Structure 1
Amino acid sequence: MANPSKQKGTAWESLIVGYLREHHNDRTHRNVQMGRLDIGDIAGYYLHALEAKAEKEIKLPSYVAQANREAVNAGQPFGCAVVKRRMKGVADGYVVRDVTTDVRLMNRLRDMEEALKSVYADLWRDIDAKHREAA
């Protein structure tokens, strides 16, 4: 691979995949590029199409628009960009989405939690405690 920008992008994607495999889903993987019907750079982040970006100049509007288009192509309800923070590792990168997408995600989370709590209150409390400890 002779293109340094492509190498940098591939390395960033690989780092994200490794992080997500360890902390989220061990089946996370890089996607094959699909041209105009691209489905995002990374699959396996629950309910999302991920667009990975490691560029010197950060262009959030185009990243978010691209992630949203690719989420539709991938059949996922949410898209987001995972943007490399200069001189930092994956855990310090940025996950970026527009407010509309974030509100849709939070509404889904709220509705699902309320449904779980109404049917399995003890299970909901256990899960809630686990995630509060992790924060």
Structure 2
Amino acid sequence: MDQQTEIQTPAPLSELIDEARKKAKGKIIGMVSRVYPAEYGEDEREVKIEVSFDTYLNSRILIGSYLGISLPVSRTLMLSRVKAVTRQDILSISKVPSLFPQENASGIMTPLVITVELLSEEVNGEVV
């Protein structure tokens, strides 16, 4: 596929995503990560959300903060609480040691991964 070919979202899925955005009332801070498995259930209640540095800088995302998650396919809303914030860049991923401390701001201007604990889910107007 060449770079000018754009992957088209199927119309029904596009409508579900638009509906989820409306439920979020336009305040979208990030997306559930594609890098980490998104698994939740009785025993697994954590997901990771990718957030741009600019969004993180302009939002008050603190440990213990509450975030809403809009799930397009199931058409539900989830309440979550921030448990951890992870920042990575190419050096931390590759485990390359720094020879001396860096004062370059680019080291902190990286996307973040927010780990959230899922607390409850709204299904058809009922909180479960």
Q: Same fold (TM over 0.5)?
A: no
TM-score by length of 2: 0.30
TM-score (norm 1): 0.29
Greater RCO (Cα-Cα under 8 Å, separation 6 or more): 2
Greater fraction of residues in helix: 1
* Structure with max Cα Rg: 2
